[in-house]
């Protein structure tokens, strides 16, 4: 079960392992809002779509186009925030995210 207290990634600047094109991380779960950032280092002016998974099931898609100070680019608008249904979180054991249609999982799963 995911705690009702904020779940903050201890290393929000960590990079996805083994991928040099995409960077990103889940930075925390605040109540029912999952936050993070995702960046395509080869096309920094493009905004990525992120797939959010709860216990292995894709539950949401979100565009990474919000301000995030740790996005690691001159353009800090690569952040995302998505509200997750409380029913998904009540018995959740694992929350993760990846760049949509890729094999790049974001660092900092919960």
How many CB atoms neighbour CB 44 within 10 A?
14
Task: Tell me which residue range forms the domain holding 23.
Answer: 7-99
For 44-61, write each residue's pLDDT tens digit. Answer: 999 999 999 999 999 999
**Has residue 73 been placed in a domain?**
yes
How many separate domains does the chain show? Answer: 1
On whether the pTM is more than 0.75, the answer is yes
**Has residue 41 been placed in a domain?**
yes
DSSP code per residue over 19-50: -SSEEEEEEEEETTEEEEEEEETT-TTS--EE
Average pLDDT over residues 7-31: 70
pLDDT at 74: 79
pLDDT at 12: 46
**Has residue 31 been placed in a domain?**
yes
**Has residue 62 been placed in a domain?**
yes
CATH of the domain at 26: 2.60.40
In this predicted structure, which of 4-8, 64-68, 74-78, 87-91 has the lowest mean pLDDT?
4-8
């Amino acid at each position: 079960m995911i705690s009702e207290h904020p779940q903050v990634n201890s290393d929000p600047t960590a990079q996805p392992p083994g991928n040099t094109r995409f960077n990103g991380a889940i930075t925390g779960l605040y109540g029912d809002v999952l936050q993070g950032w995702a960046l395509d280092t080869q096309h920094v002016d493009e905004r990525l779509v992120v797939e959010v998974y709860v216990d292995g099931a894709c539950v949401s898609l979100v565009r990474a186009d919000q301000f995030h100070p740790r996005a690691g680019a001159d353009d800090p608008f690569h952040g995302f925030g998505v509200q997750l249904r409380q029913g998904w979180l009540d018995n959740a054991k694992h929350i993760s995210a990846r760049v949509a249609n890729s094999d790049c999982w974001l660092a900092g799963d919960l």
